[in-house]
Amino acid sequence: MTVTGTPLTLRLYVHDIAGILTLYNEMQVFRSESSALGPWSAAASSAAVASILGDETTEPFKLNGTTLELKVNLVNLVSCAFVGADPYDLAATIVNVNAALGILGSASGAGGSLRISTALTGTAASIEINGGDAFPFLGFQASDSGVGVDAGILLVAGVQEYIYTDNNGSSNYWYRTRYHNSATGQASEYSAAFPAVPVRKLPIASLITGYCDLVGLMGEASVGKRVHIYNPYQLLVSGGYVIVGRSEVSVADKDGHVEFTLVRSSKVDVSIEGTPIRRRIEVPTIGASFDLFDPTLAEDEFGIQEPVINYAERTFP
């Protein structure tokens, strides 16, 4: 993993928290540095240290007179000098590196190669080759780096909104999540991949999740249906910022579910692609989420129609 040193905050929303908690107790987060197709690595799963492995060579090593330079957790510079007769075996190499690292980390063997790890766990932990002339003899490349993994995000009854910070993130990364049961190992399917959002200027408290659930005429989930949010450009200032974004689009998932993160008290137009449906609503100021087609929010002349369904209609005298 690339060490970016950039904290990136994600706002993660759980629509059916009560239902999810019947099967899972935590949420896991995964990142991709390249695209929505992966490859993927864990950001929040099981807490782990950052490490690098010199897997391009195995012992013995030619190290006498060389120096290995490391950067640990972005700020700690470590220099390890090798002074002794060649060839260095793995055990002697580990002793030298451990002496240089001190409390910052440790070295170990892995199939005859050298592994160097941090003592700290989580995405704030990182380790990089920072220079010197020993790294190629140890099987490392100049670009080798590693980032730790955070623990899964604990789910709480009644709480739909979770704030997670990837301490070595990037606005160019893609993310996805899944639910996990830490006791049984059971895991849900992954969510659809979503791009990392640019750094938010408004505080999380100024935002709310708008959602809708779509089905076909026979009640089946309307998978892949696109829902659009438009800005009608009615002047609104929130936290000192004027809202000028033009539009957003979201695609219904396998359950026909669509979500948007919106600014509280803003006014937006909602439309469903391929239909004449278009509604103007005022985004609520309270709560963690709201239904985009809640009739009480609509400002259009005719409002939103709801069918009257007798769920327990009497069919006998």
- Residue 71 sits in which domain range? 49-147
Distance CA 96, CA 99 (A): 5
**How many domains, in total, are found in the chain?**
2
Last residue of a domain, one of 147, 178, 210: 147
- Tokens 């706002």 -> residue: 11
The arithmetic mean of pLDDT across residues 127-131, rounded, is 97
Residue-level pLDDT at 258: 93
Cα 49 vs. chain centroid, distance in angstroms? 18
Residue 214 and residue 141 in one domain: no
Do 206 and 118 reside in the same domain of the chain? no
Answer with the one of 128, 147, 166 that is the final residue of a domain. 147
Q: What is the mean pLDDT of residues 141-157?
A: 98
| Res. 20: pLDDT tops 80 | yes
Q: Give a yes or no: residue 99 inside a domain.
A: yes
Q: Is residue 183 part of a domain?
A: no
Maximum CA extent, the chain = 100
The whole-number average pLDDT for the span 113-117 is 98
pLDDT digits (tens, 9 = 90+) for 161-208: 899 999 999 999 999 999 999 999 999 999 888 888 765 677 778 889
Segment holding 18, helix H or strand E: helix 17-21
Assess whether 133 and 217 both reside in one domain. no
Question: What pLDDT digit, counting tens, does each position of 232-289 carry?
Answer: 877 777 778 888 888 999 999 889 999 999 999 999 999 999 999 999 999 999 988 9
Specify the residue for token string 């780096």: 145
Q: Are the C-beta atoms of residues 80 and 100 closer than 8 Å to each other? A: yes
* CA 163 – CA 166 distance, rounded (Å): 10
Task: Output the domain CATH number for residue 284.
Answer: 2.60.40.10
pLDDT surpassing 90 at residue 65:
yes
Q: Does 307 score more than 80 pLDDT?
A: no
